[in-house]
Structure 1
Amino acid sequence: MPDVFLCGPLCHRPLLDVILGDSVVLSPAFVADREGWLVDRPGHVALGSRRGGKVEGVVPDALSPQATARLAFYARVIGLAARKVRVTTARGTGQGITYALKAAPGEGGFWDAALWLTDHAALAVETAVEVMAGYGQTPPARLHARLGPIMVRAASRLRAQAGQSPAVLRRAPGEIALQTTRQPYAYFFSVEEYDLSFRRFDGTMSPVITRAVFISADAVTVLPYDPVRDRVLLVEQVRAGPFGRGDGNPWQLEAIAGRIDPGETPEDCARREAVEEAALTLGDLLPVANYYPSPGAKTEFLYSYVALTDLPDGAAGVFGVEDEAEDIRGHLLSFDQAMALVDTGEIQNAPLLLTLFWLQRERGRLRA
């Protein structure tokens, strides 16, 4: 059988162990007259032809049929093509296959393992965990179609792992014993069911209980505020949640909001969404709070900000990303007008309510 030549991200041992489901012995190898290119996606590398070039990598000493199938499954999900190459190992040069994209020179520059390790490795591994959980259960084409949301969820999990979790009043992290995980629905969002038990406050373990969680991405909300004119900009759009609840008016008044894409910081996301939803360039971002809006049933974690912004007359319009079917109308309101809408109940959006109450507390300082 031909050697399987692994290069780029597939040389990263933690990623490869997740993909193969086991650790394998790897030997150095290279492919001549080729060049590796960076691709701005966490599990990808591109190969191009270049006389005198050399792409270094590894070959597994032996891959079981199961490991071979898992590798092919992963490649199909993330969009890597199987390509024939001439591989040189300690045994000599012979025919092999590799998984890579066709090079698009100039897309990201030459392959740089150190740069990939810093910028992409953790996300690639976390993405692979969810991808490989679908092995033998979900067709690779279906997983490929929702690779974007899978990566967004992976980035959210990494952010959760890196975030601070103070425990002054509440208990320190306790024991949770997970028995089984199911994913009855998965597309743009997903639903997971867990059979688990947990350490109770009296020290005993609870009985096994079943809990369902709606899996969504980390997101940002940002309220533009002009302290000179003492006005805010709200956005309005139709929302599926109120519609599904049976609300007679599913159009909601909100702060600018959006999910955090892989590779973005919450601050980057806030500024991008302000351009997309309101054509605004934000000034200083003032953190309001980071929080779970509904921890009993949702994984969503929000980063809310007030942004000091110039809001002259005429700053509001109708905007949105056409590919996402967004139809978003802006409203310029004085601070007092916005708080009057809180009093009447016309503002029903929790992040906006929280942010307006924060602004009510800090408004004097900001205006001064």
Structure 2
Amino acid sequence: MSDIFIYGTLMHQPLLRVVLGESFDAVAQCPARLPGWRVEAVPGEVYPMVRAERGAEAEGLLLRGLDDAALARADFYEGLDNYGYLRKPVEVLTGEGPAEATVYVPLAEDGQRGGPWSLERWAAQWGEVSVLAAEEVMWWMGRATTAEVGRRYGVICTRAQARLNARESAPATLRRKAGPGDLEVAEMRRPYANFFAVEEYELVHSRFDGTRSGQIERAAFISADAATVLPYDPQRDRVMLVEQLRVGPVARGDAQPWVLEPIAGRVDPGESPEDCALREAREEAGLEVDRLVPLGGYYPSPGAKSEYLHGFIGIADLPDGAAGLGGVPGEGEDIRAHIVSFDAAMALLESGEINVGTTVISLLQLAARRAGLRAAT
């Protein structure tokens, strides 16, 4: 049995339960202090670290009686594979007196000092998405090294944000309203995971005739939620379309793989779809949007993809000089913006030159709202 002093995000009980797994209820917890160490924020990150500092004292919890399975799970999560943290022997203070334990400390310190860190503030913004991310991290235990999982952690968090967003589901008035037991996931496999992932499912579900299906196999291409914004200038009655090379048409063998789209980007962890739309407008086109008009959310290809899109029209000033080149070069983006009249955009839609679903939906939604948007200016 082992004892560990924890601080920071692991003190969040739902997260600790995921990390320790079935051993969680068997582990005793008591408040403890670690003399000579200070908990501080990591610059540029949402989690904290402990740093040795004379006269300081780190507040945390002492976990007592971790069995080998629980210890291995905690080590995996914290990255004891030459990637993240190592366990250092320390003496902590409890209400019952001093106690020997180990504590996770960074493998290296870069010298940057962080400010105070609050578990309460972290939990309010990051707690739920971190728990969902931890579920995927711990699924990889025994299937990948912590170094491999660490390199994927950013996209793991992005997928976790999408699962969190999915809790706010659309109404179910005509369609079946799913209830407990209507869907059973008998098995889930991840044969591929990187920037995107592929998940294979063995499913059993309720049928419309009241019976249960047999076990069926389905696969899904897993990606993040994304936001799209079609910039529109109601005074000039013109829109902005962005052009770039897309790998989907390349993979299909399309002779014209450059496509016309609204501005779009994935919703990052801790980010709202609205914030994503505004950020992407700045990054892709150097454009400041005055107001967002929501178009609703939708699955572009629910038979094969988890991707969910949050659509917007962005009310913006689009003078003749607003078009140009943009994108983030470090992300391999090469984007050209076009300013075209509404009628010209609809002609491109009619001719088939606009052949991307998000552009089609955005323009048709704009057509339905156009008179009202123009009257409001």
Verify same fold: TM over 0.5. yes
How many residues are matched? 365
Alignment of 1:31 with 2:37, yes or no, is no
- Provide the C-alpha distance between the structure 1 equivalents of 2:363 and 2:111, rounded to a whole number of angstroms: 47
2:170 alignment partner in structure 1:
165
Q: How big is the shift at 1:76?
A: 0.9
1:361 partner amino acid = A
Q: Give 1:86's match in structure 2, choosing from 84, 91, 105.
A: 91
Tell me, in whole angstroms, the C-alpha distance in 1 between the residues paired with 2:61 and 2:48: 14
Contact 1:31-1:54 within 8 A present in 2 as well: yes
1:95 is displaced (CA, Å) by 4.6
C-alpha distance in 1 between matches for 2:73 and 2:149: 14
TM-score normalised over the length of structure 1: 0.94
Which deviates further from its counterpart, 15-24 or 211-220?
Answer: 15-24
Partner residue, 1:330: 337
Tell me the secondary structure at the aligned position of residue 33 of structure 2. strand
**Aligned with 1:178: secondary structure?**
strand
- Where does residue 49 of structure 2 map in the other structure? 46
Preserved contact between residue 4 and residue 64 of structure 2 (Cα < 8 Å): no
Distance 2:346 2:51 in 1: 59
For the residue of structure 2 that corresponds to 1:120, the secondary structure is: helix
RMSD (Å), alpha carbons:
1.8
Determine what percentage of the aligned residue pairs are the same residue: 47
Question: Match for residue 124 of structure 1?
Answer: 130
Q: Where does residue 286 of structure 2 map in the other structure?
A: 279
**Which consecutive residues of structure 2, in runs of 5 or more, have no partner in the other structure?**
none
Residues 36 and 103 of structure 1 are in contact (CA less than 8 Å); yes or no, is this contact kept in structure 2?
no
Aligned partners of 2:112, 2:49: CA distance in 1, in Å? 9
Q: What residue number does 1:227 align with?
A: 234
What is the deviation of 1:33? 2.6
The equivalent residue for 1:17 is 17
Give the aligned residue type for 1:235. V
CA contact (8 A) 2:2 2:65 kept: no
Q: CA deviation at 1:96?
A: 3.2
Deviations 1:219-254 (A, max 9, x none): 000011111111111000011111111111111100
Q: Deviations over 1:201-232 (max 9, x none)?
A: 11110010000011000000001111111111
Within 2, Cα distance between the matches of 1:188 and 1:100? Answer: 28
Within a 5 Å distance, the mapping from 1:1-368 to structure 2 comes to 3-22=3-22, 23=24, 24-39=27-42, 41=45, 44-76=47-79, 79-101=84-106, 102=109, 107=114, 109-161=115-167, 163-174=168-179, 175-368=182-375
Q: Which amino acid aligns with 1:129?
A: E
Contact persistence 1:289–1:303 (CA under 8 A)? yes
Q: Check whether the contact 2:228–2:262 (CA below 8 A) recurs between aligned residues.
A: yes
AA partner of residue 8 (structure 1): G
Structure 1 unaligned residues grouped into runs of 5+: none
Task: Supply the AA of the counterpart residue of 1:35.
Answer: R
What is the distance in 1 between the residues matched to 2:64 and 2:228? 50
Larger deviation, residues 27-36 vs 298-307: 27-36
* Separation in structure 1 between the aligned mates of residue 172 and residue 214 of structure 2, nearest angstrom: 25
Query: What secondary structure, in the 3-state scheme, does the structure 1 residue paired with 2:236 have?
Result: coil
